[in-house]
């Protein structure tokens, strides 16, 4: 007999378990950078706070800022700070 009987499938749905690890959560700004006014020749410090500890990279445009006589970079846990010394117009 060339007649085939239909095949039935039972679908069993198994809920997946999603466990979020703290390292998988996105890093967000808890306190964002604020604009600051300062006088040429002086120093200014910028602060930010992240939702968790992570390495911060400070940039001006495409240039990554590195610690130097001009830039002081400090970080403790989720708190990051950049001090720009001897300000000039190019630092705006």
What's the rounded Cα separation, in Å, for the pair 33 and 47? 6
Taking only the tens place, the pLDDT of each residue in 71-80 is: 999 999 999 9
- pTM, two decimal places: 0.68
Domains assigned to the chain: 24-87 (2.60.40.10)
Burial group, residue 83, by CB count within 10 angstroms (0-12, 13-18, 19+): middle
Strand partners, 84: 44, 71
70 and 87 Cβ atoms separated by less than 8 Å:
no
Taking only the tens place, the pLDDT of each residue in 18-64 is: 555 566 678 887 877 778 888 889 998 988 888 888 888 898 888 89
What's the rounded Cα separation, in Å, for the pair 12 and 80? 50
């Amino acid at each position: 007999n060339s007649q085939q009987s239909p095949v039935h499938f039972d679908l069993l749905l198994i809920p997946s378990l999603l466990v979020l690890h703290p390292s998988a959560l996105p890093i967000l700004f808890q306190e964002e950078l604020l604009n600051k006014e300062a006088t040429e020749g002086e120093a200014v410090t910028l602060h930010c706070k992240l939702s968790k500890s992570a390495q911060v990279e400070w940039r001006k445009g495409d240039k990554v800022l590195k610690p130097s006589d001009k830039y002081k970079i400090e970080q403790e846990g989720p708190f990051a700070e950049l001090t720009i010394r001897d300000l000039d117009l190019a630092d705006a």
